[in-house]
């Protein structure tokens, strides 16, 4: 649909323009969109990355919740009111890089999409592992990586910040490293994040050896920035904390990207809700129209037909031949209009009907239609060929209507042939199973093929081949409801072939 195409284009632009590595993953955990930064992290060509499974890209990682892990959450993500932050590694065959993930989930009805913002932490993680042995070289490495380093000794309330750390918080640097009071650091954390920030440090001291969290700060120059703080607890042989060593990294760009993405998701959800409301309104109007056609229009039609019949029987002798002819034409027109109304209502019912997908024996169904056609014209010589054991996953009632229209047309448009030949079979085309109904009848000019599936369109005169012009429109609607398609090939006087294919009837109706 145009709306879906517009949304997909918007998503492509978001991923392409994102300042961080970003992946869009479908509900089968397959990457659908990825930018160049992501291709660099995973060391894969962009086209290969966009068809890779998350399970092949990332190692599983345990989460805080019992029995939960990264891949379990990605397979069935919960409804999140904010992004899920966690840390894992890329696949061993892709280098085993340590990465931070920010997970956002967006739902559209039965469809589910997961946004992954990926930050390469491998360099910083390597630095953290070396802190025990090379603390003296840590500040130089931090400056090279763009991260600020801090050290907090257990016996001291002061925290040693390197020059890059002071730059991150807009402090004036007077030396390579200076001390900052812990209270001063906490005071720069946004009040809403302050309790969680202090608790993370307490948990690091009391429970863990390593932790990482994201929070907001107000720098000395008044700017609001997002920081990612990573801490490492160094313990003595008895298990007591000797010091905390950590790194800070400014992740404001990544968080701003997530905020914009969430706003766009909210806008998309609102548009989807409006589209759903419009669909319900249109459905209600269609119901009202169908009721009017079924009840309000049929009564005057019956009156026209009935009064025309009375006039012909009771007053026909008083009219001349021309007058009686006019009455018969009026009666025939009212009856034809009744047939058109029936066809229009049938098309409306097909559009509203719930699809009940099941395995349908198309070959058996075709023979049932042929038997009905033979009973309607038992004296005709018709040679029918039906390929055996053809099956489809579809709505059985709709398939009966579809074959009745296609084979009924073949039956009708071959009536002037001395020997009628009709064939129903299937073939493989472009990887799809394509069913076809072929005849040796009147055929049609391919220049007008685009008009075949429109309502009330006819390529032959009514006196040649009667009908309301709704059969192929109904067929087209049925295959559309099954996310399939139909095409026609013909030649005047040489017959016609109609090819149709079916998609997943459980998927969203794209027609």
Task: Give the pLDDT band (50/70/90) at residue 2.
Answer: low
Render 93-113 in DSSP notation, one character per residue.
Answer: GGT--EEEEEEEEEEETTEEE
Distance of alpha carbon 137 from alpha carbon 302, whole angstroms: 97
Task: Give the pLDDT band (50/70/90) at residue 139.
Answer: low
Angle, helices 321-352 vs 252-291, to 10°: value is: 150
Distance of alpha carbon 379 from alpha carbon 375, whole angstroms: 9
User: Smallest Cα–Cα separation from 509: which of 359, 403, 391, 398?
Assistant: 398
State pTM to two decimals.
0.41
199: pLDDT strictly greater than 80? yes
Q: What average pLDDT is seen over the chain?
A: 80
When pLDDT is averaged across residues 473-494 and rounded to a whole number, the result is 88
Of residues 217 and 468, the one with the higher pLDDT is 217
| pLDDT of the residue at 500 | 94
| pLDDT of the residue at 74 | 78
3-state secondary structure of 180: strand
User: In the structure, how many helices (H) and strands (E) does the chain have?
Assistant: 16, 18
Buried b (16+ CB within 10 A) or exposed e, 453-477: bebeeebeeeeebebbbbbbbbbbb
Per residue in 9-51, pLDDT tens?
Answer: 888 888 888 888 888 888 888 999 999 998 888 889 988 988 8
3-state secondary structure of 302: helix
When pLDDT is averaged across residues 376-388 and rounded to a whole number, the result is 88
Backbone φ and ψ of 112, nearest 5°: -140, 130
| pLDDT of the residue at 89 | 84
Distances (CA, A) of 488 to 388, 438, 495, 498, 503: 23, 10, 11, 5, 18
DSSP state of 460: S
| pLDDT of the residue at 511 | 44
Task: Give the pLDDT band (50/70/90) at residue 132.
Answer: very low
User: 90, 42 in Cβ contact below 8 A?
Assistant: yes
């Amino acid at each position: 649909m145009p709306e879906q195409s517009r949304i997909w284009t918007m998503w492509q632009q978001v991923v392409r323009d994102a300042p961080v590595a970003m992946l869009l993953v479908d509900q089968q955990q397959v990457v659908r969109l990825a930018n160049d930064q992501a291709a660099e992290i995973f060391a894969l060509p962009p086209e290969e990355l966009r068809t890779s499974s998350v399970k092949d890209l990332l190692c599983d990682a345990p989460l805080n919740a019992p029995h939960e892990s990264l891949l379990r959450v990605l397979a069935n993500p919960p409804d999140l009111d904010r992004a899920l932050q966690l840390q894992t590694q890329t696949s061993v065959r892709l280098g085993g890089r340590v990465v931070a993930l920010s997970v956002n989930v967006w739902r559209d009805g039965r469809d589910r999409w997961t946004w992954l913002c990926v930050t390469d932490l491998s360099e910083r993680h390597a630095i953290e592992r070396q802190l025990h042995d090379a603390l003296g070289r840590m500040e130089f490495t931090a400056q090279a990586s763009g991260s600020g380093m801090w050290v907090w000794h257990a016996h001291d309330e002061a925290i040693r910040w390197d020059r890059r750390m002071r730059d991150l918080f807009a402090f004036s640097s007077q030396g390579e490293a200076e001390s900052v009071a812990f209270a001063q650091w906490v005071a720069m954390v946004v009040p809403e994040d302050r309790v969680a920030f202090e608790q993370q440090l307490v948990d690091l001291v009391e429970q863990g050896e390593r932790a990482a969290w994201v929070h907001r700060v107000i720098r000395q120059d008044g700017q609001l920035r997002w920081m990612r703080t990573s801490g490492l607890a160094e313990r003595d042989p008895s298990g007591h904390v000797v010091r905390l060593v950590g790194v800070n990294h400014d992740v404001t760009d990544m968080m701003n990207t997530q905020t914009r993405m969430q706003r766009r998701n909210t806008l998309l959800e609102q548009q989807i809700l409006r589209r759903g409301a419009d669909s319900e309104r249109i459905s209600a109007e269609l119901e009202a129209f169908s009721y009017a056609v079924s009840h309000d229009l049929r009564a005057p039609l019956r009156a026209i037909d009935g009064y025309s019949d009375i006039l012909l029987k009771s007053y026909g002798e008083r009219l001349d031949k021309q007058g009686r002819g006019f009455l018969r034409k009026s009666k025939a027109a009212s009856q034809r209009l009744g047939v058109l109304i029936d066809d229009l209502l049938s098309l409306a019912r097909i559009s509203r009907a719930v699809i009940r997908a099941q395995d349908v024996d198309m070959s058996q169904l075709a023979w049932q239609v042929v038997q009905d056609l033979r009973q309607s014209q038992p004296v005709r010589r018709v040679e029918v060929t039906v390929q055996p054991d053809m099956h489809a996953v579809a709505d059985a009632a709709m398939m009966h209507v579809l074959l009745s229209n296609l084979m009924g047309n073949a039956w009708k448009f071959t009536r002037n042939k001395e020997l009628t030949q009709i064939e129903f079979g299937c073939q493989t085309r472009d990887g799809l199973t394509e069913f076809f109904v072929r005849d040796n009848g009147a055929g049609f000019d391919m220049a007008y093929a685009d008009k075949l599936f429109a309502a009330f369109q006819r390529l032959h005169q009514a006196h040649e081949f009667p009908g309301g012009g709704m059969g192929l429109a109904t067929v087209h609607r049925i295959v559309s409801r099954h996310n399939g398609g139909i095409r026609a090939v013909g030649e005047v006087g040489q017959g016609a072939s109609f090819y149709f294919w079916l998609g997943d009837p459980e998927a969203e109706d794209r027609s």
